[in-house]
A and B are shown apart, each in its own frame.
Chain A
C-alpha cells in the first residue's frame, strides 16, 4: 500500500487571525493531480505553505506513517516541495544554476547525487518544462513566463512525493499552460507523485485534475472529481457568479454568464 497524504484537523493563522481551522481532507493518493480552487483570500496559499512546512500550523499532516509537521525543515523537504506563486528574483544565476541550486540546497530522496548526475538531472527537467534553449541564460535576462517555468523546473527537479504548486501557470501563454499541465499530469503518473495546485482557471482545473477541492474562507465547500466539485451552485455560493456547468463526454463545459448582484 503506497503512502498517502492525510490532512487531519489542520489549522493555520495569519496575523493572529485563523485562516484555516480544523481542516480535514480525504487522503491524497500517489499519482493524483488535485486542484485547489476558490476565491481570493480563501486560504489556498496558506494551506499549501502549511503543508510545505513554511507556515506554522497545528493538527496533523501525515505521509504514510510520518508526521510531516513534526519533521525538521530539511527532512520535510525530502518529501514535499512547494513552488511559490511569486516569480524567482532576477538574479545573476543561469536557469541551470538555479535548478542545480534547488538540488544542492538539501538532500533529496534517493541515493546521493554526484555533481555530474545532479547537473544532468537539472538539465533534463529544464528541457521537460520547455526552456532547454535557455538553460545557460541568466534569470535576470528572462521574461516573467520563462522565470515561472524555471521556478517549476526547480521544484520538479527535487522529484518530491508531494508537489505543491501555487498558481504555476499564471504567467504563461496558452501553449505553455497546456504544456505544463500535461507535463505535471504525466510526471504525477510516472513518479507516483501527489500534485496539489492552486489554480484560478476552472476550465484548466477541470480538464487536468483528478480531484478538485473548493475552498472558501478556510472551509472546504466541495471536494471530489471535477464534475462533482464544480457545479452551478458552487459557482454561485463560492464565487458569487452565475454560470452553467455541463458534462460533455469526458469534458466539463463551464460558462460564466454574469456576476451575482
Chain B
C-alpha cells in the first residue's frame, strides 16, 4: 500500500496517522479532514475513536493489519527519499550544464552537450571555452560543494551542533592559514612534492583545528554555545594570522594569498580537480560505512555507546574525513563559506536524519547549491566574474541567521 505525502492513512480501526515526509504530523486529525482527504484502506473512523486519539490517549494494541500498514507507509517514505535523491542528481547535472553555458560569451545548451560529447562538431574557440575554461571550473564547483556539504553534515552530527560547518567553526580559516604559511615561508618536506606542500599544510592546520573543537565539544564545561563561540574565536584568530602573513609576504605571495581569502573557482586546474575527486572517492565509502553509527549517535551519546558504537573512534575518523574534505576544497579554491552549513540543513529538511539518506543528500545538495552559486557569480553583475565565495556568503548568511533565531530543537 502506498501512502503519499499529504494523505491520510487509516490503519485498522485504531492507529491512524497523517503521513508527512515519513513522519506523522503532530496535527491532530479530525473526521472532517478524513472526509476531505479520503481514507486509505477504505475504512472511516468511529467518532469516539477519533476523539479519543485526538486527545492523545488510548491503548493501542497493534494488529497484523496495523503493522503491515505502518511498514508499508515507511517503505513508501523510503522510496520517496530515493526519488528525491534521484531528483537531486538530475538537478545537479542541469546546474552543471547551466554553469558551463553561462559566462561572458553565452553558449546554447545543445552546444554545451556537443562540446562535452562531440567536440569535433564545434569551432575551435568554442571547444576551448567549454573544455579548457568552463569544464574544470564547473566540475570544481560540483566537487567543492559536495565535499564541503558532506563535511558539514558529518560535523553537525559528531559535534551535535546545528551551527557546525567547516566555515563557521574556523576549519576553513585554519586551512587557509596552513596554506598561507606554506606559500609565504616556502617550506618543504623531504619526499613530499612541492605542489603538495600547500594542500598538505592546509590539511594539517584544518585537522588541528577540528581536534581542538572536538576536545572542547567533549569536555563537560562547554555547552553547544561554547563550541560555536570557540569556533568563531578560531575564525578570528586564523584570519588575523593570515593577515599577518599577508603583511610580511612578498608581492607574488600576496597575490596568491588574496585568492585564498576570497574563495574563487577561477584557478581550478585538472590537477586540483583530480586531487579533490580522489579525496572524495576515498572518503565516501568510509562516510557511508559510518552512516548507521551516526544515526545512532543522533539518539544521544550514551545511547549510541550502549548500542555498541565506539563514539570516540567514530568522532576521530569523522574528523579525519572532515579535515581532508575541507582542507582539499580550501587548498584549491580558497575559503568558500556556508555551503557546509546550508547544504546539510536543506538535506535534513527534505529527508530527515537517517544518515543513509542524509549524507548522500547533503553531498548532492552542496553540489547543486555550489553550481548554482557559480552561475550566479557570472550573471549577478553583467560582464564581471564575482568570486564565488561572495555569492555563497550572500546565500548563506540569511540561512545562518535563521538557524540562530529559530529556537533550536536539537539541543
Contacts and interface: CB of A to CB of B under 8 A. Distances in A.
Nearest to A141: B26
B55 interface: no
B307 A92 contact: no
Contacts, number: 164
B39 to A, nearest CB: 16
A101 B295 contact: yes
Interface in A69-95: 72-78, 80-84, 86, 88-94
B295 A136 contact: no
Interface stretch (B118-126, B143-151, B191-199, B347-355): B347-355
A105 B409 CA distance: 24
Interface in B164-207: none
B96 to A, nearest CB: 29
A120 B352 contact: no
A96 B67 contact: no
A75 B309 CA distance: 10
Contacts of A237: none
Contacts of A101: 292, 295-296, 298-299, 307, 354
B140 to A, nearest CB: 31
B60 interface: yes
Contacts of A141: 23-26
Interface residues of A, number: 53
Contacts of A233: none
A93 B300 contact: no
Interface string B375-411: 0000000000000000000000000000000000111
A141 B70 CA distance: 18
B249 interface: no
A134 B24 contact: yes
Given A101-B296, A141-B25, A132 B70 contact: yes
Interface string A135-170: 111101100000000010011001000000000000
B310 interface: yes
A200 B305 CA distance: 25
Nearest to A134: B24
Given A105-B292, A134-B24, A154-B303, A93 B60 contact: no
Contact of B410 (A53, A89, A130): A89
B308 A73 contact: yes
Interface in B11-50: 14-17, 19, 22-26
A91 B162 CA distance: 11
A154 B296 CA distance: 10
Given A127-B60, A136-B22, A90 B296 contact: no
Contacts of B221: none
Contact of B60 (A49, A81, A91, A132): A132
B225 interface: no
B253 interface: no
A119 B309 contact: no
Given A89-B300, A105-B293, A130 B24 contact: no
A84 B306 contact: yes
A124 interface: yes
B307 A132 contact: no
A158 B307 contact: yes
Contacts of A75: 308
A138 B352 CA distance: 9
A17 interface: no
B74 interface: yes
Contacts of B17: 133-137
A196 B5 CA distance: 42
Nearest to A52: B306
Contact of A133 (B14, B19, B25, B300): B14
A202 to B, nearest CB: 26
A188 interface: no
A137 B21 CA distance: 10
Contact of A74 (B59, B308, B410, B411): B308
Nearest to A77: B308
B303 A138 contact: no
Given A101-B295, A127-B62, A49 B302 contact: yes
A124 B60 CA distance: 12
Given A84-B300, A101-B299, A94 B14 contact: no
Contact of B73 (A93, A105, A106, A136): A136
Contacts of B354: 93, 97, 101
Given A83-B303, A93-B352, A97-B354, 12 more contacts: A54-B302, A84-B302, A88-B300, A91-B299, A98-B299, A101-B299, A102-B299, A133-B14, A135-B17, A136-B23, A137-B23, A141-B23
The 8 closest A-B pairs by CB, nearest first: A106-B308, A77-B308, A127-B62, A105-B307, A105-B296, A82-B306, A138-B23, A133-B15
12 contacts: A73-B309, A77-B306, A92-B353, A97-B22, A97-B354, A101-B292, A104-B292, A123-B71, A131-B60, A134-B17, A140-B410, A154-B303
